[in-house]
Amino acid sequence: MDRQPPTQAQHAVRSSSDATASTSRTRFSHIYALQVQGFIEAAEVVDVHTDIVEDLLEDLARATSLESGNDEEEVDVDVESTTMNLDHEVETVEWGMLLKEAKQAWTREEVKQMMTTLKEHGMTAFIMKYYVDRHILVPKLLYAFGICLCPELREKPQATQLYFLKVALQRELECREKLTQYKTIEDAVLLIQQRQRILILTGAGISVSCGIPDFRSRNGLYASLQESGEYDLDDPQQMFDINYFREKPTVFYSFASKIYSSNFKPSPCHRFIKAIEDRGKNYTQNIDTLETSAGVKRVLQCHGSFATASCLNCKIRVPGTDIEDDILNHNVPLCKVCNATLPAKQKPKKKRKSSGWNSDQSDEPDPPEFPPGIMKPDITFFGEKLSDEFDKALLEDRQQIDLLIIIGTSLKVTPVSDIIGSHVWLFEGAEGGKWVEDIARRYADDSEGEASDEADDTPPPPPNPRQKAKRARLD
């Protein structure tokens, strides 16, 4: 039978189907674009590898293209059947299934327990408990924080998805109430006088008045490196990148004298830390050792310092003063042990190319500029793990302190930034601890609306002994 031309009614159905598909497509693309944009903006707060950001920027370009309708692949309406394209039907069903899954993923009690873990123990402990130990996938964990990842972002590598989780955790940790009882300098002074176990977390800001630039401010170290163009850097953070240091140690040592501690004196802030040392401990992210110069002994160098130096080859550690002259004279210090074992040899002549022409070019590659035994200050570069001493101290001190003071840091680098989540007392009744009431209010209305017909006579769980102990220390 010959195919009949479409009737006016069929034209109307086709137009309606086309519009429905377009609306559905635009809606889903808009969600995709918004989520990608949000995760990109969060990179200003949450530490993330540049490869992840670049990948998300590509996603943003694609999402924007889909949203504007410029992607030719998305224009595909089944004309003959006059129904919405199957891809869009599948997309609609998929989103519906994801939203249903999100609602059923966690009970309110489970979410409250997860928030307790995060608020009391911090981001690292949360990730270790739920992601590492329990092997719960990131998309499911995000449901607890009200985030339903779009299908495109669920296909990202684990490292990228873990970044998504850190963004959600950081957002939750930032939701902290202002302590209205502490408004003036006098209030802060009184609080310091009353506390017996004080932890002070310091950053580069406390050394700016000494003449040492901070890192991330408008006029900070990274901005100056970017503006000057004096060093061979694609990104200013390469100055403290371990892989770049191994390739070009001369770049770091041509700059290191500008932040070396022997050129500077402690500030009043360093002396303040010394004044309360008998009641506290200092975690510092600074590498300038000015706390030590001020006489502070109970100090943990979270990111290392110039106080010692180690050989990249044999790992021997020496006092930082052993390489001080090289730093001040912009020389690359070499390990005396490694170089002592190297026999003195005359530099061999390169073999010329075996060709019919008398050429000075060589078949052999150029020898390395430096021997393997290069000394590096024991500063934690990007790409290096913090010392075990930091993890041990963090675990021990978090149960002991009754006041955390943060000075001169933007808290953008993990895991030091986790201290604010793992040290501050965030349970009901403690200083700053109103979050339990917030969580209760958040779920109270829904709980009342969905209460079971059967009365729940289960008694409330007994209070945590550790929480009792912490409350007692406030009295």
Q: What pLDDT, on a 0 to 100 scale, did the predictor assign at position 409? A: 77
- Residue 119 backbone phi and psi in degrees, to 5: -70, -35
Residue partners of 276: CB distance under 8 A and separation at least 6: 192, 198, 200
Question: Among 167-171, 180-184, 282-286, 467-471, whose mean pLDDT is lowest?
Answer: 467-471
Q: What pLDDT, on a 0 to 100 scale, did the predictor assign at position 272? A: 83
Q: What integer is the mean pLDDT of 443-451?
A: 46
Active-site amino acid positions: 303
pLDDT tens-place string over residues 217-264:
666 677 777 776 666 677 777 788 898 888 888 888 888 887 776 667
Q: What pLDDT, on a 0 to 100 scale, did the predictor assign at position 140? A: 93
335 is in an annotated binding site: yes
Dihedral of CA atoms 182, 187, 189, 195 in degrees, nearest 10, equals -60
**Residue 138: pLDDT band with limits 50, 70, 90:** very high
Q: Is the CB of residue 204 less than 8 Å from the CB of residue 406?
A: no
Tell me: cis bond preceding 459? Omega within 30 of 0 counts: no
Beta-sheet strand order (sheet of 198-202): 299-301, 280-284, 198-202, 403-407
Nearest to 203 by CA among 444, 457, 405: 405
Q: Please tell me the distance from the alpha carbon of residue 113 to that of residue 241, in angstroms, as a whole number.
A: 38
Q: Which two tokens stand for residue 162?
A: 């873990």
pLDDT tens-place string over residues 165-222:
999 998 888 776 677 788 899 998 888 888 888 888 887 777 777 777 666 666 667 7
Q: What pLDDT, on a 0 to 100 scale, did the predictor assign at position 357? A: 46
Q: What pLDDT, on a 0 to 100 scale, did the predictor assign at position 76? A: 41
470 pLDDT exceeds 60?
no
142 pLDDT exceeds 90?
yes
What are the residue ranges of helices labelled H in 298-423?
324-328, 336-340, 388-397, 419-423
Name the 3-class secondary structure at 137.
coil
pTM for this model (two decimals): 0.51
Cβ atoms within 10 Å, residue 171: 16
CATH classification of 185-341+368-425, choosing from 3.40.50.740, 3.30.1600.10, 3.40.50.620, 3.40.50.720? 3.30.1600.10
Question: Among 82-86, 191-195, 340-344, 382-386, whose mean pLDDT is lowest?
Answer: 82-86
pLDDT tens-place string over residues 98-123:
888 888 899 999 999 999 888 877 78
338 is in an annotated binding site: yes
Query: For the chain, what are the domain ranges?
Result: 28-66+95-174, 185-341+368-425
Q: What pLDDT, on a 0 to 100 scale, did the predictor assign at position 197? A: 81
Q: Is the CB of residue 238 less than 8 Å from the CB of residue 244?
A: yes
Q: Is the CB of residue 328 less than 8 Å from the CB of residue 256?
A: no
Which residue is associated with the tokens 């700059």?
255
**Residue 287: pLDDT band with limits 50, 70, 90:** low
